[in-house]
Amino acid sequence: MSDRSCLSIVLAAGLGTRMRSSMPKVMHEIGNLPLVGHVLKALSASGVKETAVVVGPDMPELEKTVANLSEGAQCFTQVDRLGTAHAALAAREVLEEEHDDVLILFGDTPLITTDMISEVLGALAAGADLVVVGFETANPFGYGRLLMKGEQLLAIREEKDASDEEREVTFCNSGIMGFAGSKVLALLDQIGNDTANGEYYLTDAVELANASGLKVVAVNAPEEDLQGINTRAQLSDCEAVFQQRKRLEAMARGVTLQDPASVYFSHDTRIAQDVVVEPNVVFGPGVRIETGSRIRAFSHLEGAVVGAESQIGPYARLRPGTNLEGNNRVGNFVEMKNAAVEKGAKVNHLSYVGDASVGARTNIGAGTITCNYDGFNKHKTEIGSDCFVGSNSTLVAPVTLGDGAFIAAGSTITKAVSENALAVGRSRQSELEGRANVLRSRFKAQKQSK
């Protein structure tokens, strides 16, 4: 971005009525990020530093989300929902400040790109007073048509007001606009509400700008990038586009996806080259996979770091706080949470490791459980390096195993185990001669008596 100053206004006051939801529309998620978060992310990546988000009344969760997602964003409330121009003017306080450029966007268009934003800003820098983002579509029904004369955009004609000739136009309005900062307030203040429902529409700014002799242009962006969301079906459509983009990006960076359509990414998934991802893997938020690792089928990862040359799954679950240093093995039906695992350690089968540290080269046997919760508080298990924990062991936290400790299979460990010590925490086996036949006879009689 150039050194021109830019204010973006994101309209996000929609209630989500058509989504049959009690949650504000822009709080619904794609790739585990709220719709408005995608817009804020694109603006930040484009170098836009000042953003105003227009919310509806009584939307504290949305305001909190905006604050968490964008450090420089301010929220302004549109008390009465009286149209897009009225919504933009809810941010009058910042509109009155001096900006070279002002962008007005929508919080429910999560697929917008930095290329589109850059094109609008480029047109403003080149001397346009008003820039409208349009798209070509094979089915323009229902969209406002962009009526051009050479490079000048003359008007936006809504479907109901268009002539038969104008309805043949396939260049349509996305609703996204860019204004010269010196012209924006004057244009917005001129917009009236002489409409059937008494609302103030941003689209009127085009004809007002033309009447004032200003330069009004349109830029053409891909229709796919400009999809807005009003229904659950449209949310699903956009999720599909987002996921396909992430899959293609991953493969272009050198990641092997054996069955791309079955792998699901979050907005912040980071996967290094030469990682192999098998079918039916889901990446939740906050996952990083280092080079040479393999994520086997039907695994679910969230908030986890997988170090280089590791193998995860199949059917593994890594929960937030899991950090594998590298060359680790986490096998089938293993769940890990808040676990720091050093290089070369293995947890291969049917185990739960939570609130724990596992030292280098340690082997955790099948069916091992770190008992980290006492019903009130979480406690930590510390397992040293080069330990062996036998199958079906229970480690009752807080507990520490010293380096090289050996835990006999089937043990319940409640006290610290010294370095290189063998710990056996189970009842002594006993044998009663012939007792098996006695029990069989008793059980058979009980069954026959029922």
pLDDT in tens, 260-294: 999 999 999 999 999 999 999 999 999 999 999 99
Contact between 413 and 378 under an 8 Å Cβ cutoff? The reply is no
pLDDT of 396: 97
Residue keyed to tokens 């307030």: 185
The answer to whether the bond into 279 is cis (omega within 30° of 0) is no
The predicted model gives 54-81 an average pLDDT of 93
Q: Is the pLDDT of residue 63 over 70?
A: yes
Neighbours of 408 (CB within 10 A): 16
Distance CA 340, CA 412 (A): 22
- What CATH class does 232-423 carry? mainly beta
The predicted model gives 227-233 an average pLDDT of 95
What lies within 8 Å, CB to CB, of 154 at 6+ separation is: 147, 148, 206, 207, 210, 216
First to last CA, the chain: 83
pLDDT of 2: 67
pLDDT of 16: 82
String of DSSP letters for 239-276:
HHHHHHHHHHHHHHTT-EESSGGG-B--TT-EE-TT-E
Q: Which amino acid is at 413?
A: I
Q: Does domain 6-226 have CATH number 3.50.50.60?
A: no
Helix (H) or strand (E) holding 186: helix 184-190
pLDDT in tens, 188-222: 999 998 877 889 999 999 999 999 999 999 999 99
The predicted model gives 129-148 an average pLDDT of 95
Q: Is 267 a catalytic residue?
A: no
Contact between 65 and 24 under an 8 Å Cβ cutoff? The reply is no
pLDDT in tens, 365-385: 999 999 999 999 999 999 999
**HSE value, Cβ hemisphere, 13 Å, CA-based, for 308:** 4
Residue keyed to tokens 């260049």: 171
DSSP letter, residue 303:
S
Residue 29 φ/ψ, nearest 5 degrees: -115, 150
The predicted model gives 97-110 an average pLDDT of 97
pLDDT in tens, 11-43: 999 888 899 999 999 999 999 999 999 999 999
Q: Is the pLDDT of residue 125 over 50?
A: yes
Distance CA 130, CA 181 (A): 10
Neighbours of 382 (CB within 10 A): 17
- Residue 356: strand pairing partners: 339, 381
The pLDDT mean for the chain works out to: 95
What lies within 8 Å, CB to CB, of 353 at 6+ separation is: 334, 335, 336, 337, 339, 341, 347, 364, 368, 370, 381
pLDDT in tens, 398-413: 999 999 999 999 999 9
Domain ranges of the chain: 6-226, 232-423
Model-wide pTM > 0.95:
no
Residue 147 φ/ψ, nearest 5 degrees: -100, 115
Which listed residue (86, 267, 300, 349) is catalytic? 349
